Amino acid sequence: MITEERFFEHFMDPVDGVLCLSATSDAAAIEREASPHGLRFPLLLDRATPLCEQVASSPFAPASSRYGPYCDNITGMNWELPDGRRVRVGERVVKSTTGYDLLRFLLASSSRYGRAMDYVLRLRPACDTSRVFCLRGDAACLRSALKSLLQSTWMHWLDSVDLVAGDSPFLRVAVHCPALEFEAYQDFLSAFSKKFSLALEPAAGPALDGCPDLVVKTTPEFVADTALSLAKHPGAKCVALCSCGVVHVFLPDSGAIGEIVRPIESALHAMGGHWQSRHVSPSPSPLEASWISTLRKEWNIS
């Protein structure tokens, strides 16, 4: 029987497509390890911010549309509790039901119980063609196009389908595929945009919007309306990660968050959604506070 604490060492396993590296790594550091093996970590919000800060700012990135949230793509971590004790949570294999799922719980907990030191990332095959397209048209056409796209089997194969809500909203679709398949994607997107009277054009850059100031979690059904309405706030830019039901809100002034979320909070809670912001930490209800206090006591976190 092993009785010692186990930790993840840094490693790259191209067969399993898993990579263990420091949680403070940025996109370039991940690519240095993964690219030589024809692999990539698709869940990025921007290229320069350390991954742990990206994860703390939102559970989702645009490519979550295809690959799920961060917590489904980080299989394990070395975690440091606030007093410096370290533990390993999760696994280096992609599937496990071995004890309570502290991995996902901690990933969602900001830094209330400590911080990630290292991540084990689930990588995906990297292909030679990456393109981003914008689909523009009037609001009604965008809405019905979005509804149809979400119900289509193509959804599993598009890296992201985002509604970028600002002065003139548009749909942003990211494609990552082998060159051989690109034509099929193009054919699909042209026919699709024609059907919904949308203009299809290449986007200027990748689907990287940075770390949001505010994240709103709703259902795919309400995500477009939520994004369009939040974008009315002065200076706000909103990106709806449509199939995830997530709105990333970018604000000129994080002081406005309370005012923005107050009108939508109870409706969000009623459908099991919520908002979160790296700038604000809400307080728990008395019942939840008692659970948290038990947990902190048991974990010896003062």
Judged by CB under 8 A, the stretch of 130-138, 196-204, 252-260, 289-297 that binds another protein is 289-297
Instruction: Answer whether 203's CB lies under 8 Å from 132's CB.
Output: yes
Handedness of CA 58, 215, 274, 270 (dihedral sign): negative
Q: Which of residues 14-33 bind another protein (CB under 8 A)?
A: 14-17
* 188 binding another protein? (CB under 8 A): yes
From 47, 138, 139, 178, residue interacting with another protein (rule: CB under 8 A): 178
- Please tell me whether residue 151 binds another protein under the rule CB under 8 A: yes
Binding status of residue 257 toward another protein by CB under 8 A: no
Q: Is 181 in the site for another protein (CB under 8 A)?
A: yes
Distance CA 251, CA 237 (A): 7
* Residue 205 neighbours by CB distance under 10 Å: 6
Look up residue 208 and give its amino acid: L
Per the CB < 8 A criterion, the answer to whether 76 and 8 are in contact is yes
Closer CB to another protein, 188 or 250, in the complex: 188
What does the alpha-carbon distance between residue 13 and residue 134 come to, in Å, rounded to a whole number?
36
Q: What are phi and psi of 140, to 5 degrees?
A: -65, -45
Kindly state the smallest distance separating residue 234's Cβ from another protein, in Å.
26
Q: Which of 24, 147, 166, 250 binds another protein (CB under 8 A)?
A: 147
Which residue of 22, 24, 130, 152 would you call a contact of another protein, by CB under 8 A? 152
Binding mask 94-133 for another protein (x = CB under 8 A): xxxxxxxxx-xx--xx--x-----------xx-x------
Number of residues binding to another protein, judged by CB under 8 A: 84
For the purposes of burial, counting CB atoms within 10 Å of the CB of 48, is it exposed (0-12), middle (13-18) or buried (19 or more)?
A: exposed
Spacing of C-alpha 27 from chain mean position: 14
Which among 3-11, 206-214, 233-241, 256-264 is the span making contact with another protein, rule CB under 8 A?
A: 3-11
Q: Is 229 in the site for another protein (CB under 8 A)?
A: no
Task: Compute the distance between CA of residue 225 and CA of residue 242 in angstroms, rounded to an integer.
Answer: 11
Residue 162 three-state SS: strand
If one asks whether residue 169 binds another protein (CB under 8 A), the answer comes out as no
Report if residue 299 touches another protein, rule: CB under 8 A. yes
Structural tokens at position 256: 């406005």
Q: Which of residues 61-80 bind another protein (CB under 8 A)?
A: 68, 71-72
Q: Does 154 bind another protein (CB under 8 A)?
A: yes
Strand ranges across the sheet with 199-202: 199-202, 129-136, 170-177, 160-165, 237-241, 246-250, 214-217, 274-276
288 lies in the site for another protein, by CB under 8 A: yes
Shortest approach of another protein to residue 157 CB, angstroms?
6
Task: Work out whether 272 is an interface residue with another protein (CB under 8 A).
Answer: yes
Distances 46 to 59, 85, 111, 142, 245 between C-alpha atoms, Å: 14, 30, 21, 26, 20
CB of 167 to another protein, least distance (A): 27
Q: Confirm if 58 and 211 have CB atoms less than 8 A apart.
A: yes
CB of residue 208 to another protein, shortest distance in Å? 22
